[in-house]
Amino acid sequence: MSQRHENEFDGYGSFPVLRRRTVVAAAAVAAAATTVVGAAGSAGAATRTKNGLRVGAGKAKFTPDASILPLDNFTSVHDDLYVRVLLVESTSRSFVLAVLDLTSISAEAVALMRTAITAATGVAAADIMVTVTHCFSAPHVAASTASAGAAAYVRAIAAATRTAVADAVENLRSAQVGYGSGSADVNVNRNVLTADGYWLGVNEQGTSDDGVYVARFNDLDGNPIAVLTNYNVQSCVMQDSKTADGNLPITSDLAGAAMAHVESQYSGAVGFWLVGACGDQFPAYRAKRYTIDKDKGWTYGVDLQDAGFALLTAQSERLGNEIVRVAQAVTRYESGNNVSVRLLTDTVTTTQMTTDHPDGPVKTATYTPTVSVDIPLWVFQVGKGVFAGVEPELSTSTAIAIRENSPFSSTFVMSMFEGGAKNMPDRWNYDHYTYEARDGFYVQGTAEKVAARIERLIKSLG
Kindly provide the b/e burial profile for residues 100-131, where b requires at least 16 CB atoms within 10 angstroms of the residue's own CB: bbbbbbbbbbbebbbebbbebbebeeebbbbb
Question: DSSP E strands: which ranges in 18-90?
Answer: 21-24, 35-37, 54-61, 76-77, 82-89
Kindly provide the b/e burial profile for residues 383-402, where b requires at least 16 CB atoms within 10 angstroms of the residue's own CB: bbbbbbbbbbbbbbbbbbbb
What's at 369, amino acid-wise?
P
Instruction: Tell me how far apart the 2 most distant CA atoms of the chain are, in Å.
Output: 70
108 three-class SS: helix
What pTM does this model have? 0.90
User: In a structure prediction context, what are the per-residue pLDDT tens digits for the chain, which is 462 residues long?
Assistant: 545 443 332 323 333 333 222 322 332 222 222 223 222 333 333 333 456 999 999 999 999 999 999 999 999 999 999 999 999 999 889 999 999 999 999 999 999 999 999 999 999 999 999 999 999 999 999 999 999 999 999 999 999 999 999 999 999 999 999 999 999 999 999 999 999 999 999 999 999 999 999 999 999 999 999 999 999 999 999 999 999 999 999 999 999 999 999 999 999 999 999 999 999 999 999 999 999 999 999 999 999 999 999 999 999 999 999 999 999 999 999 999 989 999 999 999 999 999 988 999 999 999 999 999 999 999 999 999 999 999 999 999 999 999 999 999 999 999 999 999 999 999 999 999 999 999 999 999 999 999 999 999 999 997
What sign does the dihedral 418-143-81-78 (CA atoms) show? negative
pLDDT at 33: 29
User: DSSP letter string over 204-256?
Assistant: TTS-EE-EEEEEEEEETTS-EEEEEEEE---B-TTTTPPPTTS--EE--HHHH
306 three-class SS: helix
400 three-class SS: helix
CA distance 237 to 253: 6
Residue spans of the domains in the chain: they are 3-20+339-460, 35-336
Looking at residue 417, the DSSP 8-state letter turns out to be B
What's at 412, amino acid-wise?
F
CA 289, distance to chain mean position in Å, is 23
Q: Is residue 56 a contact partner of residue 168, using CB atoms and an 8 Å limit?
A: yes
336 three-class SS: helix
CA distance 363 to 373: 28
pLDDT at 24: 27
First-to-final CA distance of the chain: 23
pLDDT at 318: 98
Q: 228 vs 180, 268, 311, 396, CA distance in Å?
A: 10, 14, 23, 20
pLDDT at 4: 46
CA distance 281 to 273: 16
Q: 407 vs 23, 108, 176, 341, 462, CA distance in Å?
A: 19, 36, 21, 16, 8
CA distance 388 to 199: 29
CA distance 450 to 444: 11
Q: At what angle do helices 253-265 and 308-329 cross, to 10 degrees?
A: 50
Beta carbons within 8 Å of 115's beta carbon, 6+ residues apart: none
pLDDT at 28: 28
53 class by beta-carbon count within 10 Å (0-12 exposed, 13-18 middle, 19+ buried): buried
The candidate with the shortest Cα–Cα distance to 334, out of 86, 118, 65, 53, is: 53
